[in-house]
């Protein structure tokens, strides 16, 4: 929320608002002031909104703002839809702050949308007024003007985004004017040169005629090329017209009223089947699919337990379906058994009919898309373009012929199937009538003999016995299959056990070996840790001793240098007391002192280098000593472990450290 307020305050402090707010001031504004700021932002987007809200009724203000926000596609939150208008009336921060944040994020886009909405939002005219001719014509003109505005606006946007600018055009115009001035100057210079030549007027006239003839030659070549293109297009049109004439003659050869009526009847039958049977089924299936998907989307996410429960429910339903099928087989009517053949044929024919209808629908869709593409190409192509070459036209004609023959074959097959379907329907009706008559006669005879229902019970018993034999055979086959499967599984288990026996034995020995090695590793690890701890303590003691000795050595060196320098000073003083007598001895002492100073400076530099590298060298030396001790310890442990199996221990003395195993 704080980021939102920061963004709103930053945008209001910029152009064109210039409010000079801070977060505290903006947060402490009154509701009427918040509404006025919102109105100012809306006025920046749409200048019609620039009014003082104190001079307007609250209901009108809310209505005006909600209509503008709806036009700008402002989406309300679900939990604020009820209290939105009330929040606008009262100037609630929870309502106005999100609106300001949304508006200030996209001011340029919303300006454009508000500008377009003034011309593109259509007026709602009631349907009863549109029956009037004048109102209808005016409304159509209004719609045409709206479409024209859309087109002009798109062209304007394309020009704005195409990269051209007035500054560039002005620069181009100025460059062209400069070139024009240069050309005028060059022409004047050439005229001055030509005036000195004799017969220059006649030569200029000839050059002008030559230029005109060249231009005429170029225009004639263009006209010739255009005439060639037009001739080729005319030849193509003639070929197409001839082909169409040939096809029309072929189609008119058998174009009698009977064939036309037959075709129309077939098309009517196909269309009625598509409208009454196929399309409603597809629509119903799509609706069921949509309902199922909506139901799935509305339900919460399912876990593994829910999925298992649904699978168990599906299994139970499948078992119930199987039981119902078995009961239906036991209760089947003999008439239905005799009509199963015809029902199967009818179902096969209906499936074929559905497949052919689907193929017909696909062919119609392909034809519609091809016609649409052809219209687009005709609208896009200019009259000067080459339409179709000869070879392409031949291939297209051959392709169309093959498609036409295939369509005729499919249509003939469909008509044959329809005829066969009608014959089968009529046959089914006749057989049903005959069967009903025979059943009535048989029932009358049974009633006369006093054995009514005998035939039905006999057929029922035969069917039940046949079903029982089939079930027994199935049970026997399933039992044989299960016994064979059990034998095969037992044999596989025995084979796998025999194959895994040596591997299991080896694995047991390896496990024992692993336990022994892990125990030995633990013991060696404890020995190593105790030895390392002892060595580490000795090393720390030795380091402390070395440090103390080095400090003592530095103190002794300082004392030595101090005493030596004091003795030299005394000698020099005694020499100075002798005067000039010992001048030679002074020069000799001076040279010796200079040499000693140089040697001391060199020694100090070496001492400095040693001090700088002392820590690294000592650490490296310590690491090497530790490594050497560790390797010696490991070697002794290895040798002793081969000879004896006793546990080792470390003995520390003042003089040395010993690892005894």
> How far is CA 637 from each of CA 259, 525, 536, rounded to the nearest angstrom?
113, 12, 18
- Residue 354 near residue 278, CB atoms below 8 Å: yes
Q: Is pLDDT at 434 greater than 80 in this prediction? A: yes
Q: Which residue has the higher pLDDT, 77 or 324?
A: 324
Number of residues that this document lists for the chain: 661
Dihedral, CA of residue 551, residue 552, residue 553 and residue 558, to nearest 10: 90
pLDDT, one tens digit per residue, over 641-654 is: 887 754 444 444 44
1 sits in which H/E element: none
> pLDDT category, 34, cuts 50, 70, 90?
confident
User: Which residue's structure tokens are 């946007």?
Assistant: 157
pLDDT-above-90 percentage for the chain:
1
Model pLDDT, residue 589: 66
Distance between CA atoms of 292 and 298, rounded to whole angstroms? 10
Nearest CA to 92 out of 19, 34, 39 is that of 34
Q: Is the peptide bond before 33 cis (omega within 30 degrees of 0)?
A: no
Distance between CA atoms of 42 and 48, rounded to whole angstroms? 9
Distance between CA atoms of 542 and 394, rounded to whole angstroms? 107
* The Cα angle at residue 553 between residues 549 and 556, in degrees rounded to 5: 140
- Residue 650 near residue 659, CB atoms below 8 Å: yes
Q: Is pLDDT at 194 greater than 60 in this prediction? A: yes
Nearest CA to 120 out of 151, 160, 80 is that of 151
Distance between CA atoms of 545 and 538, rounded to whole angstroms? 11
Q: Is pLDDT at 495 greater than 80 in this prediction? A: yes
pLDDT, one tens digit per residue, over 367-400 is: 888 888 877 776 665 444 444 555 666 677 778 8
* Residues whose CB is less than 8 angstroms from the CB of residue 66 and which lie 6 or more positions away in sequence, other chains included: 84, 85, 88
* Residues whose CB is less than 8 angstroms from the CB of residue 647 and which lie 6 or more positions away in sequence, other chains included: 523, 527, 661
Model pLDDT, residue 254: 61
Count Cβ atoms below 10 Å from residue 8 Cβ, excluding itself: 23
Least confidently predicted of 113-122, 411-420, 516-525, 625-634: 113-122
520 half-sphere exposure, CB direction, 13 A CA radius: 9
Model pLDDT, residue 341: 63
> Taking the CA atoms of the chain, what radius of gyration do you get in angstroms?
55
Which of helix, strand or coil describes residue 659?
strand
Token pair recorded at residue 498 = 């025999």
pTM of the predicted model, to two decimals?
A: 0.29
> How far is CA 646 from each of CA 93, 528, 641, rounded to the nearest angstrom?
85, 14, 8
Distance between CA atoms of 29 and 31, rounded to whole angstroms? 7
- Residue 75 near residue 67, CB atoms below 8 Å: no
Token pair recorded at residue 367 = 């034809």
pLDDT, one tens digit per residue, over 439-461 is: 787 777 777 776 666 666 767 76
What string of H, E and C letters represents the secondary structure of 538-550?
A: HHHHHHHHHHHHH
Phi, psi of 348 (to 5 degrees): -60, -45
User: Which residue's structure tokens are 């025995």?
Assistant: 494
**Average pLDDT, stretch 577-601?**
65
């Amino acid at each position: 929320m704080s980021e939102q307020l920061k963004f709103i305050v930053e945008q209001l402090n910029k152009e064109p608002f210039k409010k000079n707010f801070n977060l505290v001031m903006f947060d402490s504004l009154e509701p009427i002031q918040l509404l006025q700021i919102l109105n100012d932002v809306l006025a920046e987007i749409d200048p019609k909104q620039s009014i003082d809200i104190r001079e307007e009724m609250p209901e009108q203000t809310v209505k005006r703002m909600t209509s503008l926000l709806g036009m700008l596609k402002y989406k309300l939150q679900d939990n604020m839809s009820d209290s939105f208008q009330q929040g606008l009336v009262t100037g609630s921060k929870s309502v106005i702050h999100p609106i300001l944040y949304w508006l200030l994020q996209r001011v340029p886009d919303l300006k454009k949308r508000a500008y377009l909405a003034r011309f593109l939002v259509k007026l709602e005219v009631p349907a009863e007024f549109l029956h009037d001719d004048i109102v209808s014509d005016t409304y159509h003109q209004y719609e045409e003007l709206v479409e024209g505005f859309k087109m002009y606006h798109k062209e304007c946007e394309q020009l704005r985004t195409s990269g051209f600018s007035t500054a560039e055009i002005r620069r181009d115009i100025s460059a062209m004017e400069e070139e024009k001035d240069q050309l005028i100057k060059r022409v004047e210079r050439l005229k001055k040169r030509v005036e000195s030549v004799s017969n220059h007027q006649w030569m200029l006239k000839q050059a002008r005629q030559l230029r005109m003839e060249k231009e005429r030659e170029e225009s004639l070549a263009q006209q010739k090329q255009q005439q060639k293109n037009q001739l080729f297009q005319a030849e193509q049109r003639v070929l197409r017209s001839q082909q169409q004439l040939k096809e029309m003659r072929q189609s008119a050869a058998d174009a009698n009223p009977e064939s036309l009526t037959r075709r129309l009847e077939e098309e009517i039958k196909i269309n009625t089947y598509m409208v009454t049977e196929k399309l409603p089924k597809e629509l119903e299936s799509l609706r069921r699919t949509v309902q199922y998907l909506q139901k799935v989307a509305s339900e919460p996410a399912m876990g593994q337990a829910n999925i298992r429960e649904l699978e168990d429910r599906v299994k139970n339903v499948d078992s119930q379906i199987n039981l119902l099928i078995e009961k239906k087989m036991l209760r089947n009517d003999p008439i239905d058994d005799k009509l199963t053949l015809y029902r199967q044929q009818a179902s096969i024919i209906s499936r074929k009919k559905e497949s052919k209808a689907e193929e017909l629908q696909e062919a119609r869709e392909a034809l519609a898309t091809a016609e649409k593409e052809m219209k687009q190409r005709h609208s896009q192509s200019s009259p000067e373009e080459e339409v179709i070459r000869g070879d392409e036209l031949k291939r297209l004609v051959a392709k169309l012929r093959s498609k036409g023959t295939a369509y005729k074959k499919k249509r003939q097959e469909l008509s044959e199937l329809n005829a066969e379907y009608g014959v089968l329907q009529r046959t089914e009706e006749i057989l049903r009538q005959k069967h009903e008559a025979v059943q009535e006669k048989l029932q009358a005879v049974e009633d006369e003999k006093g054995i009514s229902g005998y035939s039905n019970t006999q057929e029922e018993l035969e069917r039940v016995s046949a079903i029982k034999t089939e079930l027994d055979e199935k049970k026997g086959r399933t039992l044989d299959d299960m016994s064979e499967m059990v034998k095969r599984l037992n044999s596989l288990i025995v084979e796998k056990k025999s194959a895994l026996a040596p591997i299991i034995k080896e694995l047991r020995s390896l496990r024992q070996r692993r336990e022994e090695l892990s125990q030995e590793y633990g013991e060696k690890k404890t020995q190593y840790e105790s030895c390392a701890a002892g060595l580490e303590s000795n090393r720390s003691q030795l380091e402390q001793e070395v440090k103390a000795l080095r400090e003592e050595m530095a103190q002794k060196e300082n004392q030595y240098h101090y005493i030596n320098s004091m003795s030299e000073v005394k000698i020099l003083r005694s020499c100075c007391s002798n005067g000039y007598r010992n001048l030679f001895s002074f020069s000799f002492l001076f040279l010796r002192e200079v040499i000693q100073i140089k040697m001391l400076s060199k020694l100090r530099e070496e001492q400095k280098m040693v001090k700088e590298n002392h820590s690294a060298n000592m650490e490296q030396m310590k690491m090497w000593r530790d490594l050497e001790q560790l390797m010696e310890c490991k070697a002794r442990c290895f040798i002793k472990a081969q000879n004896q199996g006793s546990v080792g221990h470390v003995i520390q003395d003042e003089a040395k450290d010993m690892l005894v195993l």
